[in-house]
Every structure is written in C-alpha cells, then in structure tokens.
Amino acid sequence: MKIATRDILGLISKPNPNYLAYLFYGHDEGLIRERARKIALHFTDQIDDPFSVSRLSGQDVAEDKALLLDSLNELPAFGGLRLVMLSGMGTEMTEAVKIGFNSLHDKARLVIEARDVNTRHSLVKFCDQHASCASVGCYQDDNRSLSDLAQQVFKRENIQISRDTLSLLVTRLGSDRAVSRHEIEKLALFAGYNGKLTEEDIHNALGDSGALVGHQITISILNGNVEQFEQIYSRSQQDGQPPLSLLRQILSLFRNMLSARLTMETGQTSTAAISSLKPPIHFKIKPVLIAQLSKWTSDQLTEMIARLIATEIQMKTSGTVNPSTLTGQTLLGIVLRSRKLNR
C-alpha cells in the first residue's frame, strides 16, 4: 500500500502491525537506509546479529529466486520475529519479491531497500497494490525537511540557532539525507550541549570546496560566461558534486533575485534590495548580484524559477534521465540568457 508523504513519519515511529513488508525506494540512498534501519529496529534490537536478521542483496535473490522465500520461513535461532533485509536495484529483485510475498506471515518482517526506481517501476507498482506491504518513497530533502531535520538534532542537544542562521544552514546542505545528517551532527558537536550556532559558525564549519565551486558557478551564470560555466560545471561533476544540490542553489539564487527585484520596483536601490535579503548573500556573490540585478525583469526571473523547478521535477520522476546532464543543460540555458542580457 502506498504511504502518503504526510503519514511517513508516523509509520516510521509506530509501524502498523498489518504491514508484514516495507519497501523504501527512490533516489536518496541516505534517506532509504535511514528509514529502513528505523523500521527494522522496531522488530529487533540486534540488527547486526546474523542469527536474528537475514541480509540479502538483489544479486543474491536474482540468482536464486527461492532464497527470499526460504529466508522468510527460516525460524530465528532465539525465537521472536524473523527479520529479512533485502537491498539492491529494483529490477533485479522484482521477481523474487513477488514470489516471497506469496508466503508473508506474521512471524516475519521483510524490509526492502530499492535504489534508483521511481513510482512507475514494476516493483513499486506491485508493492503499492499489496495490502500487506507499506510502500514508501524516499526523495531528496527540500528546504522544509532539511530544516525539520536540523531542528530535531539541535532540540535534542538544546542548541540555540536563529531563524536566519537555520536558513543559511539549509542552503549549505545537499540532497543526500545521510550526508546532511552528518553535517548537522558535526555542527551539533561543534556547538556542544546547551550551545549556540551563529552564521559565522556555519560558514566556518561547512566551508568546503563544494561551496566554493557553487559560488564560482553562480558568478559564471550571473555574468553569462559560457566558457567559464562549462569548465567549472564539468570539474564539479568529475569531483562528485551532486547536480541537484547545484540546481537548488541556483533556484535559491533566482528566488532571492526575484524578491530583490520586486523590492526595487518599490523604489529601493539594488544595493538596498540585496542587503535586505535573509539570510545574507555571500560576500563573494553580493557585488556581482548587485551589478546584474537591474538587467533582469521580474517576469524573466519568474520564468527562470519555473524552468529550474520543472527540471527538479523531471529529475525526480524520470527513471532514465541523467541528473548531471539535465542539470547542465538547464543551467547552460540560463547562462545563455544571462549572456544575452549582458550584451
């Protein structure tokens, strides 16, 4: 049964006993692993014990279609529930899962981690329609979910953080839940229990090469420098920079530009409009943004925002698209538009 987004956290916190299997799928592998582990811990407190937990790979069940079925029916060495954890690519697991679902029973639980599949995949469709399976999509965090994650960690450690500082932190996090959690936990350790985080702390703690590359790409886009953009973007992909992270960074930039442009239309200067933005624009980008803002109309900025959002949606819903190529094409189109405005 497909689980609605609003019901996912409740399910993770308190699994419904009617569900004998759980499918976690999508493009955020960190979030898939995190949710699968949380569910599994409801059924065993010895998740790494091979005597109580069977761990299978997609390749294992692809080579032996009956292996999953046998694992579900195997009795735990010390009683209790049999927990089977299956992970791999969706297609290699589909046939074995269909066979295994014929023998689901209340003495076993199956937790499936399926990478690189979307809602149209046959495995997802099968699990969506099966009453005994909870089917949970795991997609890249948006600003709200990243903010919620950070606040959960900071509340646990009683760490103070202002709204502006939290907004800045969100812009510096990426699209993988595991990586984002690691960065947030690092900040919590940096602040200490009952501590406080400032914008300077965020810049210092998360000031990595990825952020620098992001700033360089932003400047090349604003200036309409096609050659510079192509060189920096190509290097960023070779270095493993998540394309969705860059896409969201540019989306945030254009949203800020639109906000500043609308402020200018009330009679403010570009400098005053940019200075009023929260969180503050990075000092390396601010002068370029001030110089370029007057060249864009609010309609043009709105069009770029719509294009960026459409690209993110396409990236999440298409199983065949290459995220790096799609992001590069979209950003290059914006660079070309910027170059035209700079002539």
pLDDT at 317 over 90: no
Cα 253 to Cα 14, 72, 80, 223, 247, distances in angstroms: 39, 50, 53, 14, 10
**Which pLDDT does position 21 carry in this prediction?**
97
Residue 315 CB burial class (10 angstroms; 0-12, 13-18, ≥19) = buried
Q: Is it the case that residue 210 has pLDDT exceeding 80? A: no
Predicted confidence (pLDDT) at residue 268 exceeds the cutoff of 80: yes
Length of the chain, in residues: 343
Chain position carrying tokens 């299956």: 86
Identify which has the larger pLDDT, 161 or 52: 161
pLDDT for 319 equals: 63
* Mean pLDDT, residues 48-58: 87
| Residue 212: predicted pLDDT | 61
Looking at residue 342, its amino acid is: N
Q: Record the tokens describing residue 253, joined without a space.
A: 């930039």
- Mean of pLDDT over the chain: 88
Give yes or no for residue 313 having a pLDDT over 90: no
Please report the sign of the dihedral spanned by the C-alpha atoms of residue 318, residue 129, residue 88, residue 174: positive
CB 69 within 8 A of CB 100: yes
Whole-number percent of the chain with pLDDT over 70: 95
Name which residue leads in pLDDT, 179 or 258: 258
- pLDDT at position 221, please? 93
Least confidently predicted of 29-33, 97-101, 240-244 = 240-244
Nearest residue to 250 via CA among 160, 159, 311: 311
Q: Which residue has the higher pLDDT, 286 or 329?
A: 329
DSSP letters for 143-205: HHHHHHHHHHHHHHTT-EE-HHHHHHHHHH--S-HHHHHHHHHHHHHHH-TT-EE-HHHHHHH
Q: How far apart are CA 271 and CA 277, in angstroms?
A: 10
Domain ranges of the chain: 5-138, 143-205, 209-342
| Secondary structure (3-state) at 280 | coil
Average pLDDT over residues 60-73: 92
The CATH fold of domain 5-138? Rossmann fold (3.40.50)
Structure tokens at 23: 């499918």
Residue 61 to residue 86: CA distance in whole angstroms: 9
Residue 107 tokens, joined: 């003495």
pTM, two decimals, is 0.55
pLDDT band (50, 70, 90) for residue 175: low
53-62, 103-112, 233-242: least confidently modelled range: 233-242
Query: What is the C-alpha separation between 261 and 286, in angstroms, rounded?
Result: 14
pLDDT at 209: 46
For residue 243, the 8-state DSSP code is H
Candidate CATH numbers 3.40.50.300, 3.30.70.20, 1.20.272.10, 3.90.660.10; the one for domain 209-342: 1.20.272.10
pLDDT digits (tens, 9 = 90+) for 78-95: 667 889 999 998 889 999
Q: Which CATH architecture has domain 143-205?
A: Orthogonal Bundle (1.10)
What is d(CA 326, CA 129) in angstroms, rounded to the nearest whole number? Answer: 32
* pLDDT tens by residue, 103-140: 899 999 999 999 878 888 999 999 999 999 999 998 76
pLDDT band at 77 (very low <50, low <70, confident <90, very high): low
Average of per-residue pLDDT across 14-30: 91
| Percentage, residues of the chain above pLDDT 90 | 52
